[in-house]
């Protein structure tokens, strides 16, 4: 076998194992009987361990060394480039540290579940301290020359981002958004339409069908937390959840659709190579946010959603539905935040995790720092740690450097949407009748097909002709504040 074929064969096996891990997790959250949890955890741990062994094997290094001085076409050169990056990063982590992190994250998660239920930050603090410590040790292992520890962590989710750049982007948002939120707050939010679950289900199914979700290659199920799985070409699975009277399911199903469409439209030639998948968390989030913020929350698409709700037996005026979907109301809780104030929740977390990892903030001082930040950014403060710094699962599970992608996703979505409309013209007429083929084609060409061949920032530049900016997002949210 030629060396490039050996490398590609190993990468294909790793991709297959990744898909099976994803299947195991999908099944766990959607289908598995509750009593199967303990056995499934062991099965997934075994598969993760084997995949890690295969991905860090000595022979990969030898193949890479040979291939790096061989004449390769552009695609194979990119396969080698990403395989090298993944191999190096995986190899830098000693097996003992990997094991210790995975145990600490599991214990942190358990401790968090218990402590949050009792609103007891002190009970959670030791586990969080351990996670912070291990994150620093891990960052020291994987850091590339010139990277700060926080940037090293960030690179697991978004390769190539610098803290300084994030700080600059976020500083701008932290100045502009509170003022807009203040202005929006003087208007009382529109009354919430009480949409029965059956009508929501009909509207979700009907809307997704109009966007091209067909049974041949899609599943749409229900789970406690909405998520997306891509288990191979022709096997896309999204989940949503239904709360009586709420309309979150309309937004969350479009959000997950955006994630799934990204994976579906990656160039099939990249399938089962290190290039075959979404390039970063922030680009992934930009795809979900594009469909959530710029499609589902547009005045035009409210006509489609209202039509589909009406087929489910619930009548509402498109304008009233739209008003509900974009209503601004400052919230203590990130996941129920409106599109205008959402990034402020992320900025708070970014500032705090940067300080935690950098050692400028001690875990014991986190609740006070959280509350101070909430007052500064959102003008409200939580009455408890459960509704404050203990609301998210991320730090409890050791994920530091993940949060920024949520805000970057909002920014990139807005920037892509402006570029798309600049090129294709306003989407208003199309969206009113759920005509989204031109949007899908544009995204496929500019974003999706590249897979991991382009990292976050080069991809944004290539797709929009400009560096990453905050202005498109500010232009998007200004009307939500009533401007």
Whole-number Å distance between alpha carbons of 170 and 165: 8
Q: Does 48 bind its own copies (CB under 8 A)?
A: no
Q: Is 12 in the site for its own copies (CB under 8 A)?
A: yes
- According to CB under 8 A, which residues from 267 to 296 bind its own copies? 272
* Closer CB to its own copies, 240 or 456, in the complex: 240
* Whether 198 contacts 312, CB under 8 Å: yes
Confirm or reject binding of residue 13 to its own copies (CB under 8 A). Answer: yes
Q: Is 32 in the site for its own copies (CB under 8 A)?
A: yes
Residue tagged 């060394």 (tokens): 65
Place of tokens 């382009």: 454
Residues 151-210 binding its own copies (CB under 8 A) are: none
40 vs 210, beta carbon nearer its own copies: 40
What number of chain residues touch its own copies (CB under 8 A)? Answer: 38
Residue 217 in the binding site for its own copies (CB under 8 A): yes
Sheet holding 228-230, edge to edge: 218-222, 236-240, 228-230
Phi-psi category of 62—alpha, beta or left, where left has phi over 0 and alpha has psi -120 to 50?
alpha
Say whether 74 is catalytic. no
Judged by CB under 8 A, the stretch of 38-46, 100-108, 196-204, 363-371 that binds its own copies is 38-46
Taking the complex as a whole, the smallest distance from the CB of residue 285 to its own copies amounts, in Å, to 25
C-alpha–C-alpha distance, residues 338 and 111, integer Å:
29
Alpha-carbon gap, residue 133 to 156, rounded angstroms: 17
Residue 37 binds its own copies (CB under 8 A): yes
- Please answer whether residues 381 and 371 qualify as being in contact, where contact means their C-beta atoms are separated by less than 8 angstroms: yes
Per the structure block, which two tokens stand in for 315? 């009548």
**216 binding its own copies? (CB under 8 A):** yes
Rule CB under 8 A: say whether 233 interacts with its own copies: yes
CA 431 to chain centre: 24
Task: Choose the stretch contacting its own copies; rule: CB under 8 A; options: 230-238, 333-341, 356-364, 408-416.
Answer: 230-238
| Burial of 69 (C-beta count, 10 Å sphere; 0-12/13-18/19+) | exposed
CA angle 52, 454, 61 (to 5 degrees): 35
Phi-psi region of 53 (alpha: psi -120 to 50; beta: other; left: phi over 0): alpha
43 binds its own copies (CB under 8 A): yes
Q: Does position 59 bind its own copies by CB under 8 A? A: no
> Which of 256, 263, 292, 351 is the catalytic position?
256
Residue 86: is it exposed, middle or buried by C-beta count within 10 angstroms (0-12/13-18/19+)? middle
Binding span for its own copies by CB under 8 A among 23-31, 277-285, 298-306, 443-451? 23-31
Give 53 or 429: the residue with its C-beta nearer to its own copies: 53
Q: Which of 24, 61, 190, 438 binds its own copies (CB under 8 A)?
A: 24
Q: Per CB under 8 A, which of residues 235..274 are in contact with its own copies?
A: 235-236, 272
Among 97, 231, 332, 393, binds its own copies (CB under 8 A): 231
Helix (H) or strand (E) holding 17: helix 3-30
Query: 172-208 in b/e burial notation, b at 16+ Cβ within 10 A?
Result: ebbebbbebbebbbeeeeeeebebeeebbbbbbbbbb
Least distance in Å: CB of 252 to its own copies? Answer: 21
The encoded tokens of residue 434 equal 């759920």
User: Quick check: 97 binds its own copies (CB under 8 A)?
Assistant: no
Enzyme catalytic residues: 256
Residues that bind its own copies (CB under 8 A): 12-13, 16-17, 19-20, 23-24, 27, 31-40, 42-43, 46-47, 49-50, 54, 215-219, 231-236, 272
């Amino acid at each position: 076998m030629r060396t490039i074929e050996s490398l590609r064969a190993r990468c294909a096996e790793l991709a297959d194992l990744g898909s099976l891990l994803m299947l195991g997790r999908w099944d766990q959250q959607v289908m598995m009987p509750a009593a199967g949890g303990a056995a499934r955890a062991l099965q997934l741990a075994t598969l993760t361990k084997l995949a890690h062994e295969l991905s860090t094997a000595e022979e990969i290094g030898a193949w890479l060394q040979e291939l790096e001085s061989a004449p390769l076409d552009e695609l194979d050169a990119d396969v080698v480039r990403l395989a090298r990056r993944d191999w190096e990063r995986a190899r830098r982590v000693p097996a003992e540290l990997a094991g210790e992190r995975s145990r600490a994250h599991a214990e942190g998660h358990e401790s968090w579940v218990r402590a949050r239920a009792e609103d007891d930050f002190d009970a959670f603090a030791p586990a969080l301290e351990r996670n912070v410590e291990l994150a620093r040790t891990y960052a020291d292992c994987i850091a590339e020359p010139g990277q700060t520890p926080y940037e090293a962590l960030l690179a697991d989710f978004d390769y190539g981002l610098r803290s300084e750049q994030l700080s600059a982007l976020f500083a701008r948002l932290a100045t502009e958004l509170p003022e807009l939120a203040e202005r929006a707050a003087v208007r009382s939010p529109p009354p919430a339409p009480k949409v029965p679950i059956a009508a929501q289900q009909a509207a979700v199914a009907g809307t997704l069908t109009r966007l091209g979700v067909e049974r041949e290659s899609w599943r749409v199920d229900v789970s406690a937390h909405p998520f997306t799985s891509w288990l191979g070409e022709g096997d896309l699975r999204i989940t949503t959840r239904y709360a009586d009277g709420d309309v979150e399911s309309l937004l969350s199903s479009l959000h997950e659709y955006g994630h799934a469409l990204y994976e579906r439209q990656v160039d099939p030639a990249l399938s089962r190579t290190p290039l075959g998948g979404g390039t970063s968390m922030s680009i992934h989030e930009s795809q979900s946010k594009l469909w959530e913020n710029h499609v589902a929350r547009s005045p035009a698409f409210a006509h489609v959603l209202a039509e589909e709700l009406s087929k489910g037996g619930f009548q509402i005026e498109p304008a009233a539905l739209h008003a509900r979907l974009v209503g601004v109301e400052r919230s203590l809780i990130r996941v129920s935040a409106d599109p205008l104030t959402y990034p402020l929740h992320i900025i708070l977390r970014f500032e705090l995790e940067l300080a935690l990892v950098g050692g400028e903030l001690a875990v014991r001082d986190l609740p006070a720092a959280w509350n101070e930040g909430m007052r500064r950014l959102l003008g409200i403060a939580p009455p408890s740690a459960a509704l404050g710094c203990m609301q998210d699962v991320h730090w409890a599970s050791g994920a530091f450097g993940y949060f920024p992608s949520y805000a970057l996703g909002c920014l990139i979505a807005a920037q892509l949407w402006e570029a798309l409309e600049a090129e294709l013209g306003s989407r208003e007429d199309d969206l009113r009748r759920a005509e989204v083929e031109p949007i899908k084609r544009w995204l496929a060409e500019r974003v999706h097909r590249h897979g991991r061949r382009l990292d976050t920032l080069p991809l944004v530049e290539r797709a929009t002709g400009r560096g990453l900016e905050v202005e498109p997002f500010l232009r998007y949210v200004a009307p939500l504040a009533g401007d």
